[in-house]
Amino acid sequence: MRQVRKLAIGRIALPGVVAAALLLAGCATAPAAPPPGRAAAAPPHAPRRDPLEGLNRGLFAIGDAIDRGLIHPIVAGYRRIAPRPVRQAVHNVVQNLDEPVVFANDLLQAHPKAAARTAVRFVANSTVGVAGIFDAAAGAGLPHHDNGFGATLGHYGVGPGPYLYVPLLGPTTLRDALGEGVDFVTDPLTWARFGNAQTVGIARTSLDLLDQREQADAQLRALKATAADPYATLRSVYLQSREAEIRGADAPLESLPELPESPPAAAPPAPVEPAPAPPPEAATPPPSRP
Protein backbone atom coordinates (compact mmCIF):
# COMPACT_ATOMS: atom_id res chain seq x y z
CA MET A 1 0.00 0.00 0.00
CA ARG A 2 1.59 3.18 -1.11
CA GLN A 3 0.33 6.45 0.33
CA VAL A 4 0.15 9.75 -1.42
CA ARG A 5 2.60 11.74 0.70
CA LYS A 6 1.00 15.11 0.12
CA LEU A 7 -1.25 17.26 -1.98
CA ALA A 8 1.13 20.18 -2.57
CA ILE A 9 -0.10 23.00 -4.75
CA GLY A 10 2.22 25.94 -4.45
CA ARG A 11 3.08 25.96 -0.73
CA ILE A 12 -0.16 24.36 0.53
CA ALA A 13 -0.14 20.81 1.91
CA LEU A 14 -3.42 18.98 2.43
CA PRO A 15 -3.21 15.76 4.44
CA GLY A 16 -4.79 12.59 3.23
CA VAL A 17 -4.45 9.33 1.42
CA VAL A 18 -6.12 8.09 -1.73
CA ALA A 19 -8.75 5.77 -0.32
CA ALA A 20 -8.62 3.25 -3.11
CA ALA A 21 -4.89 2.67 -2.77
CA LEU A 22 -5.43 1.50 0.80
CA LEU A 23 -8.00 -0.99 -0.38
CA LEU A 24 -5.25 -3.10 -2.03
CA ALA A 25 -5.07 -4.99 1.25
CA GLY A 26 -8.72 -4.39 2.09
CA CYS A 27 -11.60 -6.52 3.11
CA ALA A 28 -14.72 -6.88 1.01
CA THR A 29 -17.21 -7.34 3.83
CA ALA A 30 -18.32 -4.94 6.50
CA PRO A 31 -18.02 -5.75 10.20
CA ALA A 32 -20.91 -7.75 11.60
CA ALA A 33 -23.69 -5.62 13.02
CA PRO A 34 -24.64 -6.05 16.70
CA PRO A 35 -27.97 -7.70 17.51
CA PRO A 36 -31.01 -5.39 17.26
CA GLY A 37 -31.44 -3.21 20.31
CA ARG A 38 -27.89 -3.78 21.55
CA ALA A 39 -24.93 -1.49 20.87
CA ALA A 40 -21.57 -2.99 20.03
CA ALA A 41 -19.56 -3.35 23.20
CA ALA A 42 -16.18 -1.61 23.21
CA PRO A 43 -13.23 -2.93 25.20
CA PRO A 44 -12.76 -1.21 28.58
CA HIS A 45 -10.94 2.11 28.32
CA ALA A 46 -10.68 1.79 24.50
CA PRO A 47 -10.74 5.23 22.81
CA ARG A 48 -13.51 5.90 20.37
CA ARG A 49 -11.83 5.70 16.97
CA ASP A 50 -14.44 7.64 14.99
CA PRO A 51 -15.92 10.41 17.16
CA LEU A 52 -16.70 12.43 14.00
CA GLU A 53 -18.60 9.61 12.30
CA GLY A 54 -21.61 11.71 11.36
CA LEU A 55 -19.46 14.35 9.65
CA ASN A 56 -17.18 11.73 8.12
CA ARG A 57 -20.10 9.81 6.60
CA GLY A 58 -21.38 13.00 5.00
CA LEU A 59 -17.95 13.77 3.57
CA PHE A 60 -17.66 10.17 2.38
CA ALA A 61 -20.94 10.52 0.46
CA ILE A 62 -19.71 13.76 -1.13
CA GLY A 63 -16.40 12.16 -2.07
CA ASP A 64 -18.15 9.14 -3.57
CA ALA A 65 -20.38 11.36 -5.71
CA ILE A 66 -17.36 13.33 -6.97
CA ASP A 67 -15.52 10.10 -7.69
CA ARG A 68 -18.39 8.65 -9.72
CA GLY A 69 -19.09 11.84 -11.61
CA LEU A 70 -15.57 13.15 -12.21
CA ILE A 71 -12.63 11.05 -11.03
CA HIS A 72 -13.65 7.68 -12.44
CA PRO A 73 -14.26 9.10 -15.96
CA ILE A 74 -10.83 10.75 -15.83
CA VAL A 75 -9.22 7.46 -14.80
CA ALA A 76 -11.04 5.61 -17.57
CA GLY A 77 -9.80 8.17 -20.11
CA TYR A 78 -6.27 7.89 -18.75
CA ARG A 79 -6.36 4.13 -19.26
CA ARG A 80 -7.60 4.54 -22.83
CA ILE A 81 -4.95 7.03 -23.95
CA ALA A 82 -1.96 5.77 -21.92
CA PRO A 83 -0.76 2.20 -22.54
CA ARG A 84 0.37 0.13 -19.60
CA PRO A 85 4.14 0.85 -20.04
CA VAL A 86 3.43 4.59 -19.89
CA ARG A 87 1.30 4.20 -16.75
CA GLN A 88 4.05 2.12 -15.15
CA ALA A 89 6.62 4.80 -15.97
CA VAL A 90 4.43 7.46 -14.33
CA HIS A 91 4.10 5.27 -11.25
CA ASN A 92 7.87 4.78 -11.07
CA VAL A 93 8.62 8.51 -11.39
CA VAL A 94 6.24 9.70 -8.67
CA GLN A 95 7.37 6.87 -6.39
CA ASN A 96 11.01 7.82 -6.90
CA LEU A 97 10.25 11.42 -5.92
CA ASP A 98 8.95 10.12 -2.58
CA GLU A 99 12.22 8.39 -1.69
CA PRO A 100 13.88 11.37 0.10
CA VAL A 101 10.97 11.54 2.57
CA VAL A 102 11.12 7.78 3.07
CA PHE A 103 14.88 8.04 3.68
CA ALA A 104 14.47 10.79 6.30
CA ASN A 105 11.90 8.77 8.25
CA ASP A 106 13.97 5.59 8.03
CA LEU A 107 16.71 7.54 9.83
CA LEU A 108 14.29 9.06 12.36
CA GLN A 109 13.08 5.57 13.24
CA ALA A 110 16.70 4.36 13.71
CA HIS A 111 16.56 1.95 10.77
CA PRO A 112 19.95 2.54 9.14
CA LYS A 113 19.81 -0.49 6.86
CA ALA A 114 16.42 0.55 5.49
CA ALA A 115 17.71 4.10 5.04
CA ALA A 116 20.75 2.82 3.14
CA ARG A 117 18.56 0.76 0.82
CA THR A 118 16.30 3.75 0.21
CA ALA A 119 19.30 5.97 -0.60
CA VAL A 120 20.67 3.39 -3.05
CA ARG A 121 17.23 3.09 -4.65
CA PHE A 122 16.96 6.83 -5.16
CA VAL A 123 20.46 7.19 -6.65
CA ALA A 124 20.11 4.13 -8.90
CA ASN A 125 16.66 4.99 -10.22
CA SER A 126 17.50 8.68 -10.70
CA THR A 127 20.54 7.77 -12.83
CA VAL A 128 20.39 4.28 -14.33
CA GLY A 129 16.60 4.42 -14.19
CA VAL A 130 16.53 7.70 -16.17
CA ALA A 131 14.99 10.05 -13.58
CA GLY A 132 12.97 7.21 -12.12
CA ILE A 133 11.21 6.13 -15.31
CA PHE A 134 12.57 2.62 -14.81
CA ASP A 135 12.72 0.95 -11.39
CA ALA A 136 16.23 -0.44 -11.81
CA ALA A 137 16.66 -0.88 -8.05
CA ALA A 138 13.69 -3.23 -7.73
CA GLY A 139 15.17 -5.41 -10.44
CA ALA A 140 18.36 -5.58 -8.35
CA GLY A 141 16.46 -6.76 -5.26
CA LEU A 142 15.77 -3.39 -3.61
CA PRO A 143 11.97 -2.91 -3.65
CA HIS A 144 10.29 0.31 -2.54
CA HIS A 145 8.79 0.60 0.94
CA ASP A 146 6.56 3.32 2.35
CA ASN A 147 7.44 5.56 5.25
CA GLY A 148 6.44 8.98 6.53
CA PHE A 149 6.35 11.12 9.63
CA GLY A 150 2.95 9.76 10.62
CA ALA A 151 4.56 6.32 10.85
CA THR A 152 7.47 7.84 12.78
CA LEU A 153 5.09 9.30 15.35
CA GLY A 154 3.37 5.93 15.66
CA HIS A 155 6.76 4.22 15.98
CA TYR A 156 7.44 6.29 19.09
CA GLY A 157 4.06 5.62 20.65
CA VAL A 158 1.91 8.53 19.48
CA GLY A 159 -1.70 7.38 19.12
CA PRO A 160 -3.64 7.89 15.89
CA GLY A 161 -6.24 10.27 17.31
CA PRO A 162 -9.67 10.61 15.69
CA TYR A 163 -10.35 9.14 12.28
CA LEU A 164 -10.95 11.65 9.48
CA TYR A 165 -12.28 11.33 5.94
CA VAL A 166 -11.25 13.95 3.37
CA PRO A 167 -13.15 13.98 0.03
CA LEU A 168 -10.92 13.13 -2.95
CA LEU A 169 -8.02 12.27 -0.64
CA GLY A 170 -9.63 9.58 1.47
CA PRO A 171 -9.08 8.31 5.03
CA THR A 172 -6.56 9.59 7.54
CA THR A 173 -6.20 10.27 11.26
CA LEU A 174 -5.11 13.33 13.19
CA ARG A 175 -1.64 11.82 13.65
CA ASP A 176 -1.25 11.00 9.96
CA ALA A 177 -2.58 14.41 8.93
CA LEU A 178 0.09 16.10 11.03
CA GLY A 179 2.63 13.70 9.61
CA GLU A 180 1.68 14.65 6.06
CA GLY A 181 2.39 18.28 6.87
CA VAL A 182 5.86 17.42 8.19
CA ASP A 183 6.53 15.26 5.12
CA PHE A 184 5.69 18.23 2.94
CA VAL A 185 8.12 20.47 4.82
CA THR A 186 10.94 17.90 4.68
CA ASP A 187 10.51 17.13 0.98
CA PRO A 188 13.44 18.71 -0.90
CA LEU A 189 11.22 19.51 -3.87
CA THR A 190 9.17 21.81 -1.62
CA TRP A 191 12.13 24.17 -1.28
CA ALA A 192 13.59 23.79 -4.76
CA ARG A 193 13.77 27.08 -6.65
CA PHE A 194 13.86 26.87 -10.43
CA GLY A 195 11.82 28.02 -13.36
CA ASN A 196 8.24 26.72 -13.35
CA ALA A 197 8.74 25.10 -9.94
CA GLN A 198 5.08 25.59 -9.07
CA THR A 199 3.97 24.00 -12.35
CA VAL A 200 6.22 21.03 -11.66
CA GLY A 201 4.74 20.66 -8.18
CA ILE A 202 1.18 20.71 -9.50
CA ALA A 203 2.04 18.21 -12.24
CA ARG A 204 3.69 15.89 -9.73
CA THR A 205 0.70 16.00 -7.40
CA SER A 206 -1.80 15.45 -10.20
CA LEU A 207 0.11 12.47 -11.59
CA ASP A 208 0.55 11.01 -8.12
CA LEU A 209 -3.17 11.15 -7.35
CA LEU A 210 -4.09 9.84 -10.80
CA ASP A 211 -1.63 6.97 -10.48
CA GLN A 212 -2.99 5.91 -7.09
CA ARG A 213 -6.61 6.02 -8.21
CA GLU A 214 -5.89 4.14 -11.44
CA GLN A 215 -4.01 1.33 -9.72
CA ALA A 216 -6.76 0.71 -7.19
CA ASP A 217 -9.76 1.09 -9.50
CA ALA A 218 -10.71 -2.61 -9.47
CA GLN A 219 -10.48 -2.86 -5.69
CA LEU A 220 -12.54 0.28 -5.18
CA ARG A 221 -15.28 -1.00 -7.47
CA ALA A 222 -15.22 -4.33 -5.64
CA LEU A 223 -15.64 -2.55 -2.30
CA LYS A 224 -18.65 -0.58 -3.49
CA ALA A 225 -20.20 -3.67 -5.05
CA THR A 226 -19.74 -6.14 -2.19
CA ALA A 227 -19.43 -4.30 1.13
CA ALA A 228 -22.63 -3.93 3.12
CA ASP A 229 -21.30 -0.65 4.55
CA PRO A 230 -18.44 0.73 2.37
CA TYR A 231 -17.71 3.55 4.82
CA ALA A 232 -17.28 1.24 7.81
CA THR A 233 -15.25 -1.23 5.75
CA LEU A 234 -12.90 1.46 4.51
CA ARG A 235 -12.44 2.84 8.02
CA SER A 236 -11.63 -0.60 9.41
CA VAL A 237 -9.21 -1.33 6.58
CA TYR A 238 -7.38 1.96 7.02
CA LEU A 239 -7.01 1.82 10.79
CA GLN A 240 -5.93 -1.81 10.89
CA SER A 241 -3.55 -1.61 7.95
CA ARG A 242 -1.90 1.59 9.22
CA GLU A 243 -1.25 0.03 12.62
CA ALA A 244 0.15 -3.09 10.95
CA GLU A 245 2.35 -0.94 8.71
CA ILE A 246 3.72 0.96 11.70
CA ARG A 247 4.41 -2.31 13.52
CA GLY A 248 6.25 -3.55 10.45
CA ALA A 249 3.81 -6.38 9.88
CA ASP A 250 1.37 -7.21 7.15
CA ALA A 251 -2.20 -6.23 7.79
CA PRO A 252 -4.20 -9.29 8.88
CA LEU A 253 -6.87 -8.69 6.28
CA GLU A 254 -8.11 -10.63 3.32
CA SER A 255 -7.62 -9.17 -0.15
CA LEU A 256 -10.48 -7.70 -2.10
CA PRO A 257 -11.64 -9.77 -5.05
CA GLU A 258 -10.06 -8.70 -8.29
CA LEU A 259 -12.49 -7.45 -10.91
CA PRO A 260 -11.73 -8.26 -14.56
CA GLU A 261 -11.22 -5.44 -17.04
CA SER A 262 -14.16 -6.74 -19.07
CA PRO A 263 -16.92 -9.22 -18.30
CA PRO A 264 -15.79 -12.80 -18.96
CA ALA A 265 -17.26 -14.50 -21.98
CA ALA A 266 -20.06 -16.89 -21.27
CA ALA A 267 -18.95 -20.50 -21.15
CA PRO A 268 -20.13 -22.57 -24.13
CA PRO A 269 -22.91 -25.01 -23.31
CA ALA A 270 -21.76 -28.50 -22.53
CA PRO A 271 -22.25 -30.87 -25.47
CA VAL A 272 -25.24 -33.11 -25.14
CA GLU A 273 -24.28 -36.71 -25.50
CA PRO A 274 -26.73 -38.79 -27.52
CA ALA A 275 -28.80 -41.20 -25.54
CA PRO A 276 -27.50 -44.76 -25.78
CA ALA A 277 -29.38 -46.91 -28.23
CA PRO A 278 -31.63 -49.49 -26.62
CA PRO A 279 -30.22 -53.02 -26.72
CA PRO A 280 -31.53 -55.09 -29.62
CA GLU A 281 -34.43 -57.34 -28.74
CA ALA A 282 -33.73 -61.01 -28.73
CA ALA A 283 -34.80 -62.65 -31.93
CA THR A 284 -37.94 -64.75 -31.57
CA PRO A 285 -37.49 -68.20 -33.13
CA PRO A 286 -39.99 -68.94 -35.86
CA PRO A 287 -42.81 -71.24 -34.84
CA SER A 288 -42.07 -74.88 -35.62
CA ARG A 289 -44.24 -76.65 -38.14
CA PRO A 290 -46.23 -79.52 -36.86
Whether this model's pTM surpasses 0.95: no
Using the predicted structure, report yes or no on whether residue 54 has a pLDDT greater than 70: yes
Q: Is 50 strand, coil or helix?
A: coil
Instruction: Please tell me whether residue 12 adopts helix, strand or coil conformation.
Output: strand
For residue 201, pLDDT over 70 is answered with yes
Secondary structure class of 9 (helix, strand, coil): strand
Q: Using 50, 70 and 90 to split pLDDT, how confident is the model at 96?
A: very high
Contact 18, 180 (CB under 8 A): no
- Does position 42 have pLDDT exceeding 70, yes or no? no
Q: Report whether 167 contacts 59 (CB < 8 A).
A: yes
The reported pLDDT for the residue numbered 9 is 29
Q: Give the model's pLDDT for residue 289.
A: 53
56/167 Cα distance (integer angstroms): 9
Note the pLDDT of residue 31. Answer: 35
Question: What pLDDT does residue 78 have?
Answer: 95
Q: How high does pLDDT run on average in the chain?
A: 77
Residues of the chain above pLDDT 90, percent: 51
Average pLDDT value for residue range 145-160:
94
Question: Which of 239, 240, 237 minimizes the C-alpha distance to 29?
Answer: 237
Q: Please tell me the predicted confidence (pLDDT) of residue 235.
A: 93
